[in-house]
């Protein structure tokens, strides 16, 4: 039995998300900086809410970043542990059941008490969603019940040693009963976090005030604003002009300008994020493994990393970064071989009647340049392709439905749960909820099913490695470069701790100096 904390070494092992340079805000030049307790922080965020605050959607990340939404437990990237949050302890009460004991005297921002009934009902809303979350869904959780006033029981269909990691997903956030209305989710005044939403400009921003009764103690800032700015260059510009105090997910194309600005501090950290050319495995031409393999050996990944990313990313060897303990160390960066690529195209028998389409999502400014390079390199092997730029939100439904050829996007492997099983299951199993490439392999699925209940770290990591090897051999996608998480701060920001999983920004300890 384990109470209060579950070591994450069983899942994260040697993949250390080590913060480089500064892991928090830069030291002030003033030997005794004065905190402005009436200060308000403006955050330029790369994600905008699009699902009426449904917690099963990515809108939950906006509420978490805003310091509103909290979960039973949290994953701490610096300690690499599952830590208490709204639950003070937890234990596995049977092979398929976990009991979470809630903190006492926690109140929602509307003044109602957090109890097991409210927590269970909140999680049950996510489970019953039409499109459930990737980490929290009926395939992974059978039911959530209140054992008593302070104990929430989460039951799984089979043994799941990583269930606490699922409960740390922002999609498992807890809202007050009054948040669930006939018109959708209303988070205003119904969270438990250090900040409470007070107003929103639709499609533009969310404003928040300090939660004066926060269970976690004194909140340093008087409030904040989350701005929805999907264009990376605009986020970078706003921190330079002082319009934003914190800009998240800075594109590589803006990095040089920020690093020469003495009023801005740039923070970088290793990130389990890989820029990927997703290939639609469900229809021609990429339903043929020969065409997918041709795409892989046609692209010069080191050149893309050096030019478009200006050295801020490393060419990928496959679905995992080499630093991850479950990655196959024998996998190398694919070498360009145009003659082999041409032969694969010829052997496939593919006769191109019209240009293929490469969607470059606008949320990542560098993808337009990456797409242009891919277009030229594909031309050398006889494949014609056009690049179109679109926002990810506008194309996701069609991509999930399989109505596309290729899309340039990126995926943080640990964002659903801080273990690769979430990514491997949702992104590549035949019935995965986020299988953009529409890849399907019975052998691969069998490995994932074997890995799910495995409690032995070494055995589980070996199964992950085997799964990654299958994806690489089948050329399910073209994994381009392993990225860093890059944030930028204004000079008055204090107490900011960069989160490579992009979940927490407005915390009780974030402050500004006068």
pLDDT tens-digit profile of 345-382? 999 999 999 999 999 998 888 999 999 999 999 999 99
Given a contact cutoff of 8 angstroms between Cβ atoms, the answer to whether 439 and 281 are in contact is yes
pLDDT of residue 31: 57
Given a contact cutoff of 8 angstroms between Cβ atoms, the answer to whether 274 and 479 are in contact is yes
Burial of 159 (C-beta count, 10 Å sphere; 0-12/13-18/19+): middle
Given a contact cutoff of 8 angstroms between Cβ atoms, the answer to whether 430 and 445 are in contact is yes
Tokens of 35: 């905190």
Bridge partners of residue 294, in order along the sequence: none
Dmax (CA) for the chain in angstroms is: 71
Backbone angles phi, psi at 42, to 5 degrees: -105, 125
> What is the pTM assigned to this prediction?
0.84
pLDDT of residue 106: 98
pLDDT of residue 6: 43
pLDDT of residue 32: 65
Sign, CA torsion 23/25/29/35: negative
* 35 SS3 class: strand
Q: Name residues of the chain where pLDDT drops below 70.
A: 1-32
The residue behind tokens 């005297």 is 105
pLDDT of residue 359: 98
371's enclosing H/E stretch is helix 366-379
Burial of 349 (C-beta count, 10 Å sphere; 0-12/13-18/19+): exposed
Burial of 401 (C-beta count, 10 Å sphere; 0-12/13-18/19+): exposed
pLDDT of residue 18: 37
pLDDT tens across 435-480, in order?
999 999 999 999 999 999 999 989 999 999 999 999 999 999 999 9
Asked if omega into 473 is within 30° of 0 (cis), the reply is no
User: How far apart, in Å, are the Cα atoms of 350 and each of 134, 285, 439?
Assistant: 35, 7, 20
Burial of 450 (C-beta count, 10 Å sphere; 0-12/13-18/19+): middle
477 contact partners, CB below 8 Å, separation of at least 6: 276, 277, 278, 279, 292, 319, 437, 439, 471
pLDDT of residue 29: 47
Tokens of 108: 């929602």
With CA atoms as reference, report the closest residue to 415 among 301, 271, 280, 276: 271
Bridge partners of residue 226, in order along the sequence: 43, 206
SS (H, E, C) 58-125: CHHHHHHHCCCCECCEEEECCCCEEEECCEEEEEEEECCEEEEEECCCCECCCCCECCHHHHHHHHHH
């Amino acid at each position: 039995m384990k109470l209060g904390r579950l070591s994450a070494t069983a899942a994260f092992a040697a993949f250390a998300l080590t913060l480089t340079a500064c892991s928090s805000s830069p030291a002030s030049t003033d030997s005794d900086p004065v905190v402005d307790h009436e200060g308000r922080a403006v955050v330029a965020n790369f994600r905008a809410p699009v699902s009426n605050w449904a917690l099963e959607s990515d809108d939950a990340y906006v509420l978490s970043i805003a310091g509103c939404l909290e979960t039973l437990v949290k994953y701490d990237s610096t300690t690499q542990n599952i830590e208490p949050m709204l639950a003070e302890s937890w234990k596995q009460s049977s092979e398929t059941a976990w009991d979470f004991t809630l903190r006492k005297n926690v109140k929602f921002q509307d003044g109602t008490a957090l109890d097991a009934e409210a927590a269970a009902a909140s999680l049950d809303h996510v489970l019953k969603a039409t499109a459930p979350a990737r980490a929290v869904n009926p395939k992974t959780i059978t039911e959530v019940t209140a054992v008593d006033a302070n104990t929430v029981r989460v039951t799984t269909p089979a043994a799941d040693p990583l269930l606490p990691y699922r409960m740390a997903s922002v999609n498992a956030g807890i809202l007050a009963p009054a948040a669930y209305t006939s018109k959708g989710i209303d988070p205003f005044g119904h969270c438990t976090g250090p900040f409470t939403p007070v107003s929103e400009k639709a499609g533009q921003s969310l404003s928040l005030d300090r939660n004066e009764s926060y269970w976690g103690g004194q909140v340093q800032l008087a409030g904040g604003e989350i701005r929805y700015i999907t264009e990376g260059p605009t986020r970078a510009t706003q921190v330079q002009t002082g319009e934003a105090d914190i800009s998240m997910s800075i594109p590589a194309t803006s990095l040089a300008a920020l690093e020469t600005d003495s009023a801005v501090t740039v923070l970088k950290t290793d990130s389990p994020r890989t820029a990927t050319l997703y290939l639609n495995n469900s229809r021609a031409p990429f339903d043929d493994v020969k065409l997918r393999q041709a795409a892989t050996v046609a692209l010069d990944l080191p050149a893309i990393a050096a030019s478009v990313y200006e050295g801020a990313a490393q060419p990928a060897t496959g679905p995992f970064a080499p630093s991850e303990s479950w990655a196959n160390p024998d996998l190398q960066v694919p070498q360009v071989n145009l003659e082999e690529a041409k032969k694969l195209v010829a052997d496939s028998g593919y006769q191109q009647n019209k240009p293929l389409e490469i969607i470059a999502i606008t949320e990542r400014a560098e993808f337009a340049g990456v797409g242009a390079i891919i277009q030229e390199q594909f031309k050398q092997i006889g494949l014609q392709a056009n690049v179109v730029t679109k926002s990810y939100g506008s194309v996701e439904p069609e991509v999930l439905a399989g109505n596309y050829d290729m899309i340039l996007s990126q995926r943080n492997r640990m964002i659903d749960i801080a273990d690769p099983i979430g990514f491997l299951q949702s992104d590549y199993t035949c019935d995965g909820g986020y299988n953009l490439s529409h890849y399907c392999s019975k052998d691969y699925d069998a490995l994932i099913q074997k890995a799910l209940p495995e409690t032995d770290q070494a055995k589980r990591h070996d199964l992950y490695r085997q799964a990654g090897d299958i994806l690489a051999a089948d050329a399910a996608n073209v994994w381009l470069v392993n990225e860093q998480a890059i944030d930028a701060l204004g000079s008055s920001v204090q107490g900011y701790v960069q989160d490579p999983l992009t979940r927490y920004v407005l915390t009780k300890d974030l402050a500004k100096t006068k």
